[in-house]
Chain A
Amino acid sequence: MALVSVTNLTRIFDVSKPWLNRVIERKPKAMLTAVSDVSFDIEERTVYALVGESGSGKSTIGKMLVGLLAPSTGSVDIRGVDLARETDAAKIDDVRADIQMIFQDPFASLNPRWRVRDIIVEPVAARGGETRGLAERLLEQVGLAARDAGKFPHEFSGGQRQRICIARALASEPKLIVCDEPTSALDVSVQAQVLNLMSDLKDEFGLTYLFISHDLTVVQHMADKIGVLYLGRLVEEADPDTLFDTPKHPYTQMLLAAAPQLDGFGREVAPPTGEIPDPINPPPGCAYNPRCPLAADICRTTRPELRRVGNARVACHMVD
């Protein structure tokens, strides 16, 4: 059984102006669909990556997985427990303890007035667990020194802070870590250190990652399975080899062609056309149809279902 099952997950934000303004300006309510009918499974001890451009709904999905945001419709089941609907508080607590999150900005996510020790053990202390020596042990596990426990966050570089975030995430011995752009703020040599560390920890502790990134090469390096998002919709899902060797969805193809390549010397690509549409008024049918070279009439009227094509799942009318 999958560790995580996401089923028809949808999140709608009300982004209307205040009621009075709406009345005066005669504007209707504005609803923004950040995540639309997304379904996928994450197998235990694997890395599932979500990739997509900004605003495609990656962070919103991540937040719904860890319970920071409630789904509008659809469900997230973790070990068979639906966090939004489960009524047994003990069960919810139990599952919550199995999930941790790491964010992009290691500066914003550490309380500057706390010592590193207190930051790291906080998730355990909050549940009344044993914390003696825990911070020191975890610091060594993430490549820092035990004596760093007494320092404050500002004494560390960006890469070191992300290690502290990782140590804190590990403290409660979670099964699943949602990593939202964990290395996007880091330089490449530091990114390499953090990615290697994350791979090591995964093997050592049998972790499962939801790995969110906009960087295709990082995703290709880390993931066992990749989901490509466009305007809140899952348009393609496959293992990295299948996805990168034979991308099927026209959007995936565009994205892969647009990504700069380390060996792309003097490469001239016809740059992609158009821009991501307004999520408040998405195009009818397939959200990609205004930019798609293959679009036919059906693409402008009917939303394509995600269906199995070879080793992949693809949401496109024109792929077979």
Chain B
Amino acid sequence: MTPTLSIRNLTVDIPTRHGTLRPVQDVSYDIAQGEILGVVGESGAGKSMAGNAVIGLLNPPAHIASGEIHLNGTRIDHLQGDDMRRLRGQQIGMVFQDPLTSLNPLLKIGDQLTETMLAHLDISQSEARKRAIAALEEVGIPGAAQRVDSYPHEFSGGMRQRVVIALALCAEPSLIIADEPTTALDVSVQAQIIALLKRLCRDRGTAVMLITHDMGVIAEAADRVAVMYAGQLTELGAVRDVLTAPLHPYTDGLMGSTPLASRGKARLHQIPGAMPRLDALPDGCAFHPRCPRAQADCVRNPGPTLSDGQGRAACFHPLVREDVA
């Protein structure tokens, strides 16, 4: 079946006075209908840039330099202006870390919901208002019929994020891009929002790109996971496989450095150093200066990639695990 989203060999460039930076390099992955793909990696890995490329929200001079993006089989990476805006409103919903970036502070939330629906669905004003109240109920806003006439500032952070989710879903998109949707929220509210996202996607078959730096969120919410490092996709696979038996040394290091109940007070594993800056990417595999498995070829050869959107680990010397196919 055609995946909802298919990204192939996506490369994003930022030309600067001192040369071209490449925040996303040759990234390929698919998201199937009803699937939650977790995109994980440390800050600056290129997660948001890849997401923004899909929705046509790259800030110039950043631009797609090569590669293709298909939504439900239709190529969308070259769409411009109104075409892109229409697609974004209709087929792709967005949820960002700060709900206020998606809400107009001067408009009642009900008006924002009905406006979006009227722009993309063929329904009447009164039907739109009815659906707006239903949408607020569905995302768990208590007293939706009254709250529909409130302004964004009258809601708590968690409630605002629910409103944003209602807004992202109201045009019935086939893809949701959620970029750190719970990072600013407390854990109890985070649990509510994640449960909500999972339920809505299961019920509607929406595909979700869930961008987060939190491995725990990935474990609980995602079906598959894409690990990014220095603009590149380093590991891709079913979430349980990747987290319990990582093949890429970077994923392995990340899992080891995450405090875990079962490890108790034992020293945390340390990945030495830090992720390189884009203007100082090492030759060969970008991870080699920090990698315990690196050998001469990792430095010499062009970095390994997962360019078909399939494979597991972009690594010359992945971990060997007997129990993994």
* Physical interaction between A and B: yes
Q: How far is the CB of B175 from chain A (nearest CB, A)?
A: 21
In the bound complex, do residue A188 and residue B187 qualify as a contact, i.e. CB atoms below 8 Å apart?
Answer: no
Contacts of B167-193 to chain A: CB distance below 8 A: 186-192
Take A187-B213, A269-B191 as given contacts and tell me if A53 and B259 are in contact as well, using a CB distance cutoff of 8 Å.
no
Interface flag for B274 (CB, 8 Å): yes
When distances are taken between beta carbons in the complex, the residues of chain B under 8 Å from A221 are 259, 263-265, 268
The CA of A166 and the CA of B307, in the complex, are separated in Å by: 43
Interface flag for B153 (CB, 8 Å): no
Interface flag for A261 (CB, 8 Å): yes
Take A196-B268, A264-B220 as given contacts and tell me if A258 and B257 are in contact as well, using a CB distance cutoff of 8 Å.
no
Interface flag for B131 (CB, 8 Å): no
In the bound complex, do residue A272 and residue B188 qualify as a contact, i.e. CB atoms below 8 Å apart?
Answer: yes
The CA of A193 and the CA of B253, in the complex, are separated in Å by: 12
The CA of A148 and the CA of B258, in the complex, are separated in Å by: 28
Q: How far is the CB of A152 from chain B (nearest CB, A)?
A: 17
Interface flag for B59 (CB, 8 Å): no
When distances are taken between beta carbons in the complex, the residues of chain A under 8 Å from B158 are 275
Take A157-B274, A159-B274, A271-B195 as given contacts and tell me if A258 and B259 are in contact as well, using a CB distance cutoff of 8 Å.
no
In the bound complex, do residue B270 and residue A193 qualify as a contact, i.e. CB atoms below 8 Å apart?
Answer: yes
Q: How far is the CB of A249 from chain B (nearest CB, A)?
A: 14
Contacts of B241-267 to chain A: CB distance below 8 A: 243-244, 253-261, 263-265, 267
Nearest A residue to B268 by beta-carbon distance? A192
Interface flag for A191 (CB, 8 Å): yes
Interface flag for B156 (CB, 8 Å): yes
When distances are taken between beta carbons in the complex, the residues of chain B under 8 Å from A259 are 187, 191, 216
Take A188-B254, A265-B220 as given contacts and tell me if A195 and B188 are in contact as well, using a CB distance cutoff of 8 Å.
no
Task: For the complex, count residues of B whose C-beta is within 8 A of A.
Answer: 46
When distances are taken between beta carbons in the complex, the residues of chain A under 8 Å from B278 are none
Take A187-B42, A260-B217 as given contacts and tell me if A255 and B188 are in contact as well, using a CB distance cutoff of 8 Å.
yes
In the bound complex, do residue B267 and residue A261 qualify as a contact, i.e. CB atoms below 8 Å apart?
Answer: no
Q: How far is the CB of A3 from chain B (nearest CB, A)?
A: 21
In the bound complex, do residue A262 and residue B187 qualify as a contact, i.e. CB atoms below 8 Å apart?
Answer: no
The CA of A258 and the CA of B195, in the complex, are separated in Å by: 10
Give the tally of cross-chain contacts (CB within 8 A).
120
Q: Mark A154-198, 1 if CB is under 8 A from B, else 0.
A: 000101000000000000000000000000000111111101100
Interface flag for B269 (CB, 8 Å): yes
When distances are taken between beta carbons in the complex, the residues of chain B under 8 Å from A272 are 188, 191-192
In the bound complex, do residue A260 and residue B194 qualify as a contact, i.e. CB atoms below 8 Å apart?
Answer: yes
When distances are taken between beta carbons in the complex, the residues of chain A under 8 Å from B144 are none
Take A188-B42, A192-B270, A192-B271 as given contacts and tell me if A262 and B191 are in contact as well, using a CB distance cutoff of 8 Å.
no
**Residue of B156, B186, B215, B271 touching A262 (CB-CB under 8 A):** B215
Nearest A residue to B186 by beta-carbon distance? A53
When distances are taken between beta carbons in the complex, the residues of chain A under 8 Å from B156 are 275
When distances are taken between beta carbons in the complex, the residues of chain A under 8 Å from B192 are 271-272
Q: How far is the CB of A170 from chain B (nearest CB, A)?
A: 20
Interface flag for B214 (CB, 8 Å): yes
Task: For the complex, count residues of A whose C-beta is within 8 A of B.
Answer: 40
**Residue of A187, A217, A254, A263 touching B188 (CB-CB under 8 A):** A254
In the bound complex, do residue A260 and residue B257 qualify as a contact, i.e. CB atoms below 8 Å apart?
Answer: no
Take A217-B260, A272-B192 as given contacts and tell me if A261 and B220 are in contact as well, using a CB distance cutoff of 8 Å.
yes
Nearest B residue to A244 by beta-carbon distance? B261
Q: Mark A237-272, 1 if CB is under 8 A from B, else 0.
A: 000000010000000001101111111111111011
The CA of A262 and the CA of B251, in the complex, are separated in Å by: 13
In the bound complex, do residue B216 and residue A260 qualify as a contact, i.e. CB atoms below 8 Å apart?
Answer: yes
When distances are taken between beta carbons in the complex, the residues of chain B under 8 Å from A275 are 156, 158-159, 189
Nearest B residue to A254 by beta-carbon distance? B188
Nearest A residue to B156 by beta-carbon distance? A275
The CA of A283 and the CA of B207, in the complex, are separated in Å by: 41
Interface flag for A115 (CB, 8 Å): no
The CA of A264 and the CA of B214, in the complex, are separated in Å by: 13
The CA of A195 and the CA of B259, in the complex, are separated in Å by: 10
In the bound complex, do residue A261 and residue B219 qualify as a contact, i.e. CB atoms below 8 Å apart?
Answer: yes
Interface flag for A199 (CB, 8 Å): yes
Q: How far is the CB of B311 from chain A (nearest CB, A)?
A: 21
Interface flag for A214 (CB, 8 Å): yes
The CA of A151 and the CA of B198, in the complex, are separated in Å by: 48
Q: How far is the CB of B93 from chain A (nearest CB, A)?
A: 21
A-B contacts, 12 of them at CB < 8 A, read A187-B43, A189-B274, A190-B274, A193-B270, A199-B267, A260-B187, A260-B219, A261-B219, A262-B255, A265-B220, A268-B195, A271-B195
| Given contact pairs A188-B258, A258-B188, A269-B195, a sample of 13 additional A-B residue pairs in the complex whose CB atoms are under 8 Å apart | A159-B274, A187-B43, A189-B257, A192-B268, A193-B270, A199-B267, A216-B187, A258-B187, A259-B191, A260-B217, A260-B219, A271-B195, A272-B188
